[in-house]
Amino acid sequence: MEKQTTRSLLFGKYELGRLLGQGTFAKVYYAKHLKTGEGVAIKALSKDQIKKEGLINQIKREISVMRLVRHPNIVQLKEVLATKTKIYFVMEYVKGGELFAKVAKGRLKEEAVRSYFQQLISAIDLCHSRGIAHRDLKPENLLLDEHENLKVSDFGLSALPEQLRQDGLLHTQCGTPAYVAPEVLRKKGYDGAKADIWSCGVILYVLLAGFLPFQDENIMTMYRKVFKGEFEFPPWFSTEAKTLISKLLVTDPEKRITIGEIVENSWFKKGLSRPNFWTIEPPEQEPEETEKLPFETEEPDKPAFFNAFELISSMSLGFDLSNLFENKRKSGTMFTSKHGASSILRKLETIAKGLGFCVKRKGFKVWINKEKEGRKGPLHVKAEVFEVAPSLAVVEFSKSSGDTLEYAEFFERQVRPGLGDIVWTWQGDEAHAVA
């Protein structure tokens, strides 16, 4: 008689396999998609433990960030699943393991390092164009696939634009000390993108040297070296590599090299195919049912309720109450309307399709996508209808990807004029139209 084996299935969709690794709050398993046979990595987290440790916002942020950054050199988040007790991140499976494992065996050849560094900068450039700072770049968070392609992972400490304070800077001290920029260690405000560039400089040094530029058994001594930018180059570093690293590891963030300058550097450009290098994978369609955030409710049969206080806060530039509320709504472009939700959604679809955009509607949300791709990816806009009262709705627009200036022009010149007959008032307008 043939021996029966018990398969561990997740949502009847994935067959769970071996444990790939585990940390304090998560376990990562290899799994196979039952229909396609594709191998994936599934990170399982305990809801109770996440709530106990106060990590709900961090998990939400990681999901939001990974959905914004689709790039060949960034680990892809495929979907998010949830049960009553667990949250599951279904991610691209990267077979080659951590880049750190290679470095642990000794320094790498300069040509290989250059290829990895080019891919790293390409990925980080996309993140920064979306307003996202990674904040924990290190070889342990850089994975390699079977073709030696680099994949940036672990966005748990990344920062979104809404985390900036009024001074336009980040203030949370985080990251791995040996790779953290001096301005972050000083516990003052810092530019997350510039801090990432410092970390990239440390990574480049480590890959070429096989050890850290700033290291000491005493962590305070190491910090002093970081603050002063004190490090030495091994004799095998090429002159061009030393020149680039010297510009990356500049303690003054205002004088530190930018990504635009990095890509024009002679050492960096060697063997670089510019058209292929900057190609960004277009985002897939918006998440299906199984991809709702595990902290969100099921899709309603009517528009979500928009609190009257939130309405006052969002619609008035001179009377901002947003800081009084724990769940602050993400800034977007809004208008109020006395038309019904279905009528508003039909109007949005008509305008977008008339402009040649792809439109997808689900519930009371509309995704407007432009297929043409620029350096910062194709323009993707979401519009959502909220209910304030039976006779009053709020419509909020937000850009999920693409160039900010392109979005502003699209909205002001094309969308806003086309919506004139259904708008009661626009966000920030002092004079309210009378119905």
Instruction: Give DSSP secondary structure letters for 170-211.
Output: B----S-GGG--HHHHTTS-B-HHHHHHHHHHHHHHHHHHSS
Distance CA 174, CA 185 (A): 9
Please give the full DSSP string across 230-244, using - where no structure is assigned: -----TTS-HHHHHH
pLDDT of residue 331: 40
Final residue of a structural domain among 92, 121, 144 = 92
Give the residue from 400, 383, 286 showing the smallest Cα distance to 333: 383
Q: Is 58 helix (H, G, I), strand (E, B) or coil?
A: helix
Same domain? For 114 and 262 the reply is: yes
pLDDT of residue 1: 43
Query: Which of 17-26, 212-221, 231-240, 330-339 is predicted least confidently?
Result: 330-339
User: Please, which pLDDT band fits residue 374 given cuts at 50, 70 and 90?
Assistant: low
Same domain? For 138 and 23 the reply is: no
Same domain? For 182 and 203 the reply is: yes
- Which has more pLDDT, 378 or 385? 385
Residue 115 in any domain: the answer is yes
Same domain? For 119 and 257 the reply is: yes
Same domain? For 262 and 187 the reply is: yes
Residue 20 has pLDDT above 70, yes or no: yes
What is the rounded average pLDDT for all residues in the chain? 79
What residue numbers does the annotated binding site for ATP cover?
43
Final residue of a structural domain among 59, 92, 125 = 92
Tell me, what CATH number does 73's domain have? 3.30.200.20
DSSP lists the bridge partners of residue 144 as: 150
Same domain? For 123 and 246 the reply is: yes
Contacts for 99 with CB less than 8 Å, ≥ 6 apart:
116, 139, 142, 143, 144, 150, 207
Same domain? For 334 and 256 the reply is: no
Residue 18 has pLDDT above 80, yes or no: yes
Residue 96 has pLDDT above 80, yes or no: yes
Final residue of a structural domain among 262, 277, 292 = 277
pLDDT of residue 332: 52
User: Total structural domains in the chain?
Assistant: 3
- Which has more pLDDT, 402 or 430? 402
- Which has more pLDDT, 324 or 243? 243
pLDDT of residue 41: 92
Residue 310 in any domain: the answer is yes
**Which pTM does this prediction carry?**
0.63
Q: Which of 238-242, 277-281, 344-348 has the highest mean pLDDT?
A: 238-242
pLDDT tens sequence across 343-365? 888 888 888 888 888 888 888 88
Q: Is 380 helix (H, G, I), strand (E, B) or coil?
A: strand
pLDDT tens sequence across 108-151? 999 999 999 999 999 999 888 888 888 889 998 999 999 889 99
DSSP lists the bridge partners of residue 365 as: 362, 384
Residue 366 in contact with residue 347, Cβ under 8 Å?
no
Q: Is the dihedral of CA 423, 317, 158, 251 positive or negative?
A: positive
pLDDT of residue 334: 80
Tell me, what CATH number does 398's domain have? 3.30.310.80
pLDDT tens sequence across 243-272? 999 999 999 999 999 999 999 999 999 988
Mutual orientation of helices 192-209 and 239-248 as an angle, nearest 10°?
A: 150
Q: And the tokens for 253?
A: 């963030």
Same domain? For 216 and 105 the reply is: yes
The full 3-state SS of 246-308, as one line of letters, equals: HHHCCCCCCCCCCHHHHCCCHHHHCCCCHHHHCCCCCCCCCCCHHHCCCCCCCCCCCCEECCH
pLDDT of residue 226: 93
Average confidence (pLDDT) over 12-32: 88
What residue numbers does the annotated binding site cover?
43
Residue 46 in any domain: the answer is yes
Same domain? For 121 and 252 the reply is: yes
Residue 174 has pLDDT above 50, yes or no: yes
Residue 398 in any domain: the answer is yes
Residue 285 in any domain: the answer is no
Domain that holds residue 347: 301-426
pLDDT of residue 342: 84
- Which has more pLDDT, 301 or 26? 26
Residue 394 has pLDDT above 90, yes or no: no
Residue 431 in any domain: the answer is no
Q: What secondary structure letter does DSSP report for 63?
A: H
Same domain? For 262 and 179 the reply is: yes
Same domain? For 147 and 242 the reply is: yes
- Which has more pLDDT, 42 or 130? 42
Same domain? For 19 and 69 the reply is: yes
> Nearest-5° angle of CA 404, CA 407, CA 411?
145
pLDDT of residue 383: 86
Q: Which of 17-31, 207-221, 420-434 has the highest mean pLDDT?
A: 207-221
Residue 428 has pLDDT above 80, yes or no: no
> What are the residue numbers of the active site?
136
Residue 244 in any domain: the answer is yes
pLDDT tens sequence across 283-294? 443 433 333 444
Residue entry with tokens 């106990």: 52
Tell me, what CATH number does 112's domain have? 1.10.510.10
Residue 34 in any domain: the answer is yes
